[in-house]
Each structure stands twice: as structure tokens, then as C-alpha cells.
Structure 1
């Protein structure tokens, strides 16, 4: 399992519309092969800053399976009108884990 962390900066005043669009876009994401789960978090200090955390089976499931699919274009069309800057995304693998 890998974790994709995508950062979105949303244009001022468009947060509610972005979240409504994400409600639709998340169904596209969830239907992809290799998808394991996701969460979208909004920054407390900067209401226009969001982090999308997506669990994928592999980097290839994200980069080839999703990003190179026609469904990515649909996903991007729903969300990109709200981006104040191009999003960034990186992939992580777990080194340590703890919790209750």
C-alpha cells in the first residue's frame, strides 16, 4: 500500500463549491482499480488549503491506472476550476505506524 498526498490551494471564496464538486469527483476516484480509500482534509489556519490522502495498492495504480485513464480527465474537469495554483502530489510508503 502506498499513500498519495495531493495538495490543493483553492481560490478564495470557492471552498463550498470545491467541496460540492469533490463530493462528485470522489466517486470517480473510488471506482478505480487499485484504489483502497481516501480522505480530504481542509487546513484550519488557511481555509483554501486542502490535502487529499489516497491509499493505492501501488504507485502504478495511481500514475498509470488513474492518471492515464479517461476518468482522470473527468475528475480533473470537476475540480480544476477551483484551483488557485496547480496541485502537487507525492507518494509515500509507511515506515512506522502507531495508534490506539
Structure 2
């Protein structure tokens, strides 16, 4: 299992719209082969900051399967305009337990 993590900084005054569009975009990512689940957390100290966590069966399910899909085009259309700066996406694997 691979954990994708991205810190998302949403432009001021756009958090309500972002959360609405994120719910819509969630339908697209969940259609991808190798997708397991995802969650979005909002920061207590900075209400414009979110943490996106997505679990994939493999790295390629995300980097090739999702990013090469028509679903990703819709994900981008719905969400990418909200970010400033654009997020850095990183991938992790479990070392314990």
C-alpha cells in the first residue's frame, strides 16, 4: 500500500467552494483501479490549509493510472484553481508496524 500525501493551501475566501467541489471530485478519484480510499483533513491552526491523504495499491495506480485518466482531467478542472501555492505531492510506504 502506498500513501499519497499533499498539503493543500486554499486561496482566501474559497474554502466553502473548495470543500463542495472536493466532494464532487471524490467521485472521480474513487473510480480508478488501484484506488483504496482517501480523506481530507482541515487544519485547526490555519483554516485555509488541508491535508489530503490517498491510499493506493501501488505508486503506478496514482502516477500512471489516475494521472493518465479522463477522471484526472475532471479532478484538475474542479480543484486545481483553488491552490496557492500549488501543492507538492509525496508518496510514503509503511515501515512500522
Q: TM-score range by the shorter chain?
A: over 0.9
For structure 1, which runs of at least 5 residues remain unmatched after alignment? Answer: none
Which range moves more in the overlay, 81-90 or 25-34? Answer: 81-90
Which stretches of structure 1, 4 residues or longer, exceed 3 Å deviation after superposition? none
Distance 1:25 1:17 in 2: 12
Residues of 2 paired with 1:31 and 1:89: CA distance?
20
Of 53-62 and 67-76, deviating more is 67-76
Cα shift readout 1:43-76 (whole Å, capped 9, x = no counterpart):
1101111111000000000000001112111101
Structure 2 gaps, min length 5: none
Partner of 2:25: 25
Would you say 1:91 and 2:91 are equivalent positions?
yes
* Matched positions, count: 97
Structure 1 vs Structure 2 CA RMSD:
0.8
TM-score of the aligned structures, taking structure 1 as reference length:
0.93
